[in-house]
Structure formats: structure tokens, C-alpha cells
Amino acid sequence: MLSDFLSYENLDKDERDILAILSWVPHIQPRLFDELCASVGVKDYGESIENLVLASLIEYQGGYYAISGPVRLVFRQMYGDGDKDVGIKIAETLATKLQNPDLITSEIVDTVSFLLLIGGRDLPDSIQRVISPSSILRAARALYQRSRDKPGQAEYSRVAELAEAGLEIARERTVRLDLMAVRARAFLRLRRWNDADLIIREIEASGGRQALPIRAQYYRFRADYRKAAQMYSTVLQSGVTDDSIIHEYCICLRKLGDYEEVRRTIDRFANNVARNPYLLGTKASLEIGSGEFRRAEETIRILTTLPDRRETAAEKSAILVYKETQNYQRALTIINEAIERVQRADKGIDPDLHITRCLIYCKLGLAQEASIDMNLVRSAHRDGDAVAERLAIHVLLAESRPREALAQFERMPNKTRIDQLLKRDILQSLLYDKSLSLAERAEFEARFNESLAGRPLFTEFDF
């Protein structure tokens, strides 16, 4: 019988510790398994593993060690939760990983989630003190931030899983609501609208302070920028001055074409702007779009002083050169150098750099090179389809196909005020089309002149 194989008489201490480790985790790769074995004092487990595999108590498949469901069940029936000290050691090792978002791999998330979900609120207090709801919340927030800040590492499903695991053991109302908010934000990033909406409704029903900001974000992601802007404005008027709220409010205002309110907001929250890369980027874009090039230069200089923002600053510098001097080749050199630095540092892909390079290529008439960047952006950017749809129109213009560009623009859904810049470029290109009839030329010229009214204070790079 299975229980005979698992009895103390048939297992030595290392074998029992290995089974105890595997009873706390779903499956585990050798590297993390090495760390966990070392943490409980199992130094050389090769022979023990071999014995357990031969006894069919452990499986090794697809690069993972695991014990089967029946073995886990019998082991827990015989030894309760296994060795509690082993569980604490596992929790301590995982807690160390959770402190650094760069170490939060899928395996760590799976392991933490399994550990909390199988135990839930019955998990021993000693383990809950090590992996607490607040530590899970901090890890989920850090992972969310990393996923947003570092292109190519969007791991929002992990954020949702971590938050769900934290909710299994969280008792304090505020922590539970914060975990729910993080989970809802992750679902928004994953475009799981219904899942996000259900959580937001629950937060709203509870009267949590998180309700209005997260509902505003929901509307922003659904492209209802007017509702979102109204909600963000209410949040800011209530005294909340969170950087992310200010930034998202400015995004909505820009989409709505309320550029003067963007300027007022940037001026009003100057202290926030000075230390936040997203707000500094918005400020630089506003200054470039309004022709305040020396101010933009200073803003970009400040941006370079922030940690890990050299490439963001380089992107703004390329746009500044592009708009101020029309030296497109110099702008291309700046952006190419930034992309090469990202590649050398093995940081993955920064879609924003490739968006900017795509537009510069288009201005230089290099449609084939622009198309490569456009396709890369489609696959790597979190809003890849929407961004690529607009880039494709620029590529058509680079190929001297303005009629097709106009037709594609007219079919484009969810157009915003800033998209009028693209429409203006299309109409301007059409005026150079020698095949136009006099009537067509008069129509397009009238439409072009109309597009010049109310010039946006941003640029074609800011859609």
C-alpha cells in the first residue's frame, strides 16, 4: 500500500524532507528545488531523489519535480501539513523572492499561489507571518509596475494570480480591497473587461476609496475618455495627488483634445511632474508640440537624471530634433542608438522606441523599414493593434498612397482629437496627387484648411 511506502520506517530523513517540500508546492524546477533543499539542510539529494522516483513517489516530467495527487493526499493524511518547519523554510525562501519583482517568475507565482490556496485561512500562522497578505500586495503591485514599465515583460496574469492568492488569507478590509484593485487593474491590462467589471462593482459596493480611480481606469481602457476624465478630475479635487491619477487624467484630456487643461494640470502638479517619468514625458511632448523647444530641452535633461530613463529621454530628444530642425536623419540616428543600447543590455523590446523610429522612417520615405517596425509594435505593444493601425496609415503615405490612407483612416474606430493630426497629413499628401480633378482638389483643400484650425499642442508621435 502507498501508506507503507510513506511510513517513517521506509523513508530516511532526507527523503521525508523532500516529500515534505513537494507536498507544499505544485511542481518545481531543479534550480528552485536546490534552494529549498539547501534551506532545510538537504545537501546532496541525488540518491534520495532516485530512490523516490524508483518507488513512484516522485515524478520528473517536463523539467519539473512533483508528487502525484494520491501521494500528496496520503502524505498529508499521515503527516498533517507535513513538516511545519519545512513549510516555514519554503515560505521564507519565497518571501525573499517576492521582495524583488525581477525574481518573481511564473514558478514563484505558481508556488506561492498553491501554498496559499491549498491552505487558505487555515494555513499555519507561522507561515502567514512570513508570507502575509501585505507582502503579497507589495509583490503584486511591484510586478504590475514592472510589467507596465519594462516592455516585453507584461506578466499581468501573474499579478492577478498573486492577488487572488493573497485574498485567500487576507482578513483586513483595506488590504482585501487593495488586492482586489490590483487584480482588477491586471484584468484591465489583459482586456478581460467582464472580470475587471465584476471586481470593480464589488469594490464600489463596499464603498472603498479605490472605487472611483479604478472605475475611471476602466472607462479609459474602454476608450470612454470623457467619463474617465470626469472621474479623474473628481479624484484630484478630493485631494488625491497620486502620480498615476495625474498621468491618466492627462492621457484622457489629450485624447479629448483639451490641451489647455493638460497644461494647467502639469503646472498645478509641478512637484509630482519633476520626479515622475511619465509626467515629464507628457510635459516634454506638450512643450515640443507648442514649439517651446528650449523648455522641452530642459525637461528632457531632467528626464535623463531619473533611474533607467535614458532611452525615454532619447526618444523625446529624437522627436525634438525631428520637429524643431526637420533633420530626420539625425533623429533616426538618435533613436537607432537608443534601440541598440536596449538590445545590448538584453532588455527585450521597447515598443515606444520602435513607434518613433517607424514614424521617422515614414518621413524619410523608407516604407519597408517602417513596416518592419510597425509589425514589431503590433506584437509587442500592449495596445499593438490600435497603434499599428495608425502606423499603417503613415506607411501608406510613405508609399505615396494617400487615397488608400484616407479610406483606412475613415474606417478606423475610436478616433480621437489627436488623430486629426494624421488626417491633416493625409489631406496634405492628397493635395500633391496630380490625378485629382478640380472638384476633388477644391474639396480636399477645404478639408485641409479646416484641419488647421485649433492646432493641437502635441505632435503626431503622441497618439
Contacts of residue 291, Cβ cutoff 8 Å, sequence gap at least 6:
none
φ/ψ (deg, to 5) at 28 = -155, 140
Q: What is the pLDDT along the chain (463 residues), one digit of tens a residue?
A: 555 555 555 677 777 778 777 777 767 778 888 888 888 777 777 777 787 777 777 888 777 888 766 776 666 566 555 556 676 777 777 777 777 767 776 667 767 766 666 554 445 555 555 567 887 888 888 888 877 655 444 578 888 988 988 888 788 899 999 999 999 999 998 889 999 999 999 999 998 788 999 999 999 999 899 999 999 999 999 888 899 999 999 999 988 888 889 999 999 999 999 999 999 999 999 999 888 999 999 999 999 999 888 999 999 999 999 999 999 999 999 999 999 999 898 877 889 999 999 999 999 999 999 999 999 999 888 788 889 999 999 999 999 999 999 999 999 888 887 888 888 888 888 888 888 788 888 888 888 788 777 666 677 777 7
Measured CA to CA, the distance from residue 102 to residue 214 in angstroms comes to 26
Confidence at residue 159, expressed as pLDDT on a 0 to 100 scale: 87
Confidence at residue 121, expressed as pLDDT on a 0 to 100 scale: 47
Of residues 107, 169, 159, the one with CA closest to residue 132? 169
Contacts of residue 444, Cβ cutoff 8 Å, sequence gap at least 6:
427, 430, 431, 436
- The grid coordinates listed for 442 are 477644391
- The grid coordinates listed for 284 are 516634454
Cβ atoms of residues 283 and 263 within 8 Å: no
Cβ atoms of residues 217 and 188 within 8 Å: yes
Measured CA to CA, the distance from residue 269 to residue 246 in angstroms comes to 8
- The grid coordinates listed for 102 are 525581477
Q: Which amino acid is at 248?
A: E
3-state secondary structure of 435: coil
For cell 472607462, what's the residue?
Answer: 219
Contacts of residue 437, Cβ cutoff 8 Å, sequence gap at least 6:
none
Residue 143: other Cβ atoms inside 10 A: 25
Measured CA to CA, the distance from residue 199 to residue 189 in angstroms comes to 14
For cell 476633388, what's the residue?
Answer: 440
Burial class (CB in 10 A: 0-12, 13-18, 19+), 138: middle
Contacts of residue 330, Cβ cutoff 8 Å, sequence gap at least 6:
321
- The grid coordinates listed for 89 are 523554510
Of residues 60, 13, 79, 66, the one with CA closest to residue 40? 13
pTM score, whole prediction? 0.76
To which H or E segment does residue 326 belong?
A: none
Pairing assessment for the beta strands 64-66 and 59-61 based on DSSP bridges: antiparallel
Confidence at residue 308, expressed as pLDDT on a 0 to 100 scale: 83
